[in-house]
Amino acid sequence: MDSTVEIRIDDRRPFAGGHTFGEAGAYERLTGRVLFAVDPQAPAQADVVDLDKAPRDPNGLVRFEADFMILKPVGAGNRRVFFDYGNRGHKRALQFFNDAPHSNDPLTLDHAGNGFLMRRGYAVAWLAWEGDILPGDGRMVLDVPVATDNGRTITGRVRTEIIIDGPPVATMPLSGRISAYSYPVADKHDAVLTRRRYPYDRPEIIPGQDWDFALELTGAGAESTAPERAIVAADNFIHYPAGFQPGWIYELIYTAKDPKVMGLGHVAVRDFVSFLKYRENRDNPLAGTRRAYGWGRSQTGRCLRDFVYRGYNGDAAGRRVFDGVMPHVAGAGRKWLNHRFASPIVSGGQQYEDHFNIADSFPFSYARSVDHLTGREDAILKRPETDPLVFHTQTATEYWVRRGSLVHTDTLGNDLPQPETVRVYCWASSQHSANPLLKSPVRGIGQNFSNTVATSMLFRAMLDAMDRWATDGTKPPDSRVPTRAEGTLVDFSKWREQFPAIPGVMTLAEPNALPLLDFGPDAGRGILREPPSVVHGRNDPDGGPGLRYTVLVPSVDADGNDVPGVRAPMVSAPLGTYTGWNPRARGYGHGVQWKFEGSYIPFPDTAAERTATGDPRPAVLERYADWRAYVAAITSAARELVAQGLMLEEDVERCASAAERWNPARHATSL
Confidence of residue 272 (pLDDT cuts 50, 70, 90): very high
Greater pLDDT, 521 or 419: 419
| Residues 137-148 pLDDT 10s | 999 999 999 999
| Residues 378-387 pLDDT 10s | 999 999 999 9
Residue 523 pLDDT > 80, yes or no? no
Mean pLDDT of all residues in 366-377: 95
Return d(Cα 81, Cα 293) in angstroms, integer: 6
Residue 90's φ and ψ, nearest 5 degrees, are: -100, 145
Mean pLDDT of all residues in 577-602: 95
Amino acid identity, residue 338? N
Return d(Cα 408, Cα 145) in angstroms, integer: 38
| Residues 177-213 pLDDT 10s | 999 999 999 989 999 999 999 998 999 999 999 999 9
Rounded alpha-carbon distances, angstroms, from residue 568 to 286, 423, 652: 35, 18, 11
pLDDT at res. 542: 52
Say how far residue 73 (Cα) sits from the centre of its chain.
28
pLDDT at res. 147: 97
Greater pLDDT, 49 or 531: 49
Mean pLDDT of all residues in 73-83: 97
| Residues 534-552 pLDDT 10s | 777 655 545 556 788 999 9
Q: How many CB atoms lie within 10 A of CB 340?
A: 22
pTM of the predicted structure, to 2 decimals: 0.96
Q: Which residues, in sequence order, are bridge partners of residue 87?
A: 90
pLDDT at res. 538: 54
Residue 599 pLDDT > 60, yes or no? yes
Q: How many CB atoms lie within 10 A of CB 241?
A: 12
Q: Which helix (H) or strand (E) holds 260?
A: none
Mean pLDDT of all residues in 250-271: 97
Residue 292 pLDDT > 70, yes or no? yes
Amino acid identity, residue 406? L
Q: Dihedral, CA atoms, 160, 164, 168, 171, nearest 10 degrees?
A: -30
Return d(Cα 354, Cα 602) in angstroms, integer: 31
User: 13: burial class by Cβ within 10 Å (0-12, 13-18, 19+)?
Assistant: exposed
Looking at residue 474, the DSSP 8-state letter turns out to be: P
Residue 526 pLDDT > 60, yes or no? no
pLDDT at res. 1: 61
Confidence of residue 224 (pLDDT cuts 50, 70, 90): low
Q: Reduce the secondary structure of 326-343 to three states and give it as a string.
A: EEECCCCCCCCCCCECCC
pLDDT at res. 502: 97
Mean pLDDT of all residues in 615-642: 98
Return d(Cα 360, Cα 303) in angstroms, integer: 12
Q: Residues 55, 62: contact at Cβ < 8 Å?
A: yes
Looking at residue 451, the DSSP 8-state letter turns out to be: P
Rounded alpha-carbon distances, angstroms, from residue 180 to 131, 147, 169, 516: 9, 18, 17, 28
Mean pLDDT of all residues in 124-149: 97
Mean pLDDT of all residues in 452-476: 98
Residue 151 pLDDT > 90, yes or no? yes
- Output the average pLDDT for the chain: 94
pLDDT at res. 544: 58
pLDDT at res. 434: 93
Omega of the bond leading into 106 within 30 degrees of 0 (cis): no
Confidence of residue 584 (pLDDT cuts 50, 70, 90): very high
Closest C-alpha to 363, from 378, 348, 375: 378
